Structure 1
Amino acid sequence: MAKNKGVRIVITLECNECRSNPAIDKRSHGVSRYTTEKNRRNTTERLEIKKFCRYCNKSTTHKEIK
């Protein structure tokens, strides 16, 4: 039988600066991505968290993508 979909879903967070400025003053080419979970009922809007980006070599805002 199929299991009921849970409240928690897996999301992907992507660096805003790497996405908007491709390969300008970067250590290497690429976009920083993190995966995490969020509660669908409590957090309905897109998540935005400050995390470390290894390509920018600093803490930047990471935004939820599809």
Structure 2
Amino acid sequence: MRKKIILSCTECLSRNYSSYKNQSNQSERFEVRKFCKKCGSHTLHRETK
């Protein structure tokens, strides 16, 4: 089953992106480097609860 997740910047904590993940395959939090408009650079974005 695919679940919608929200990604937030680890630097400024703004919630910029949303994505989907397969819960049966990925049990830990999703992390990806993306561009943050507020910071103006590529930063690590993590899945929020």
Whether TM-score is above 0.5 comes out as yes
Q: RMSD in angstroms over aligned alpha carbons?
A: 0.9
The 2-side partners of 1:38 and 1:13 are apart by 11
CA contact (8 A) 1:32 1:55 kept: no
Structure 2 match to 1:15: 9
More helix per residue = 1
Distance 1:36 1:47 in 2: 10
Structure 1 ranges of 4+ moved more than 4 A:
none
For structure 2, the residue ranges without an aligned partner over 5 or more in a row are none
Q: Determine what percentage of the aligned residue pairs are the same residue.
A: 43
Specify every segment of 5 or more residues in structure 1 that has no aligned partner in the other structure, as ranges. Answer: 1-6, 20-30
Tell me if structure 2 keeps the 8 A contact 1:18–1:32: no
1:59 aligned to which of 38, 42, 45 = 42
